[in-house]
């Protein structure tokens, strides 16, 4: 009949490492993990120059920056993507090869875990949107409280309960080199985004924003579970 049938085989929704994510939706090769990290950082940093028209204006806050960069990092980065996102393609950066958004095994566009049903991987636990608290608790694991342990693409989280409307705040580590640790974050105000060295935070006049072990507001350095 001339009909072409394409079969795509995807492994079952098993979760052998019991992190709540199906193993098929995790990046298992170091090449893919590196590709994700580099694109995640590139997308986040590009928002300093010009905020993407593909970034929902209603989500332009600290967790929104993470969600946007996460989603865009998992896409195919070609000329069409550049036109849609406004982010210039860097041909020196490889794309994630195992899968590309929105064709994420078992997840599709529902990238973020927002509930814990206690049943291992459960599709109903995932959604396209996740607040900073859920990005920290259900989508990443705590590496420690020492910034020296952070890798580009890792996250910093803070919890200030006196900020009733938004007690959690998040930041992205974009560099850890001999030049030091650099961080980007959305202020949640008209000030927009900042890209700063760690010293900027360590010397903050408000001790709640200092990323040090004895600061109870600082929750630590976190790493996405799909990289584990």
pTM: 0.93
Where is average pLDDT lowest: 10-19, 82-91, 104-113, 135-144? 10-19
pLDDT at 10 over 60: no
Rounded Cα–Cα distance for residues 154 and 134 (Å): 15
Chain segment 103-132, per-residue pLDDT in tens: 999 999 999 999 998 878 999 999 999 999
pLDDT of 189: 85
Rounded Cα–Cα distance for residues 192 and 62 (Å): 9
Pairing state between β 155-159 and 168-177? antiparallel
Q: String of b and e for 108-118 (b: at least 16 CB within 10 Å)?
A: eebbbbbeeee
Chain segment 49-71, per-residue pLDDT in tens: 999 999 999 999 999 999 999 99
- Containing H/E element for 69? helix 62-73
Nearest to 40 by CA among 20, 67, 61: 67
From residue 147, give the alpha-carbon distance in Å to each of 70, 98, 115, 121: 21, 30, 28, 31
Q: Three-class SS of residue 25?
A: helix
């Amino acid at each position: 009949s001339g009909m072409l049938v394409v079969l795509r085989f995807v492994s079952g929704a098993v979760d052998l490492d019991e992190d709540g994510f199906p193993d098929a939706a995790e990046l298992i090769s170091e090449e893919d993990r590196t590709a994700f990290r580099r694109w995640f950082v590139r997308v986040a940093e590009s928002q300093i120059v010009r905020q993407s028209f593909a970034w929902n204006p209603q989500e332009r806050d600290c967790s929104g920056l993470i969600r946007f960069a996460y989603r865009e990092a998992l896409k195919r980065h070609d000329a069409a993507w550049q036109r849609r996102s406004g982010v210039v393609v860097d041909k020196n950066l490889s794309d994630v090869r195992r899968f590309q958004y929105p064709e994420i095994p078992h997840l599709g566009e529902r990238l973020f875990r927002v509930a814990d049903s206690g049943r291992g991987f459960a599709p109903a636990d995932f959604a396209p949107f996740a607040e900073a608290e859920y990005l920290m608790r259900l989508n990443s694991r705590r590496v420690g409280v020492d910034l020296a342990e952070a890798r580009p693409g890792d996250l910093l989280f803070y919890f200030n309960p006196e900020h009733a409307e938004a007690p959690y705040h998040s930041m992205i580590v974009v560099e850890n080199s001999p030049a030091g640790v650099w961080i980007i974050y959305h202020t949640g105000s008209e000030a927009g985004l900042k890209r700063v060295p760690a010293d900027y935070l360590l010397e903050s006049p408000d001790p709640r924003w200092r990323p040090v072990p004895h600061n109870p507001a600082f929750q630590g350095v976190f790493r996405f579970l799909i990289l584990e």
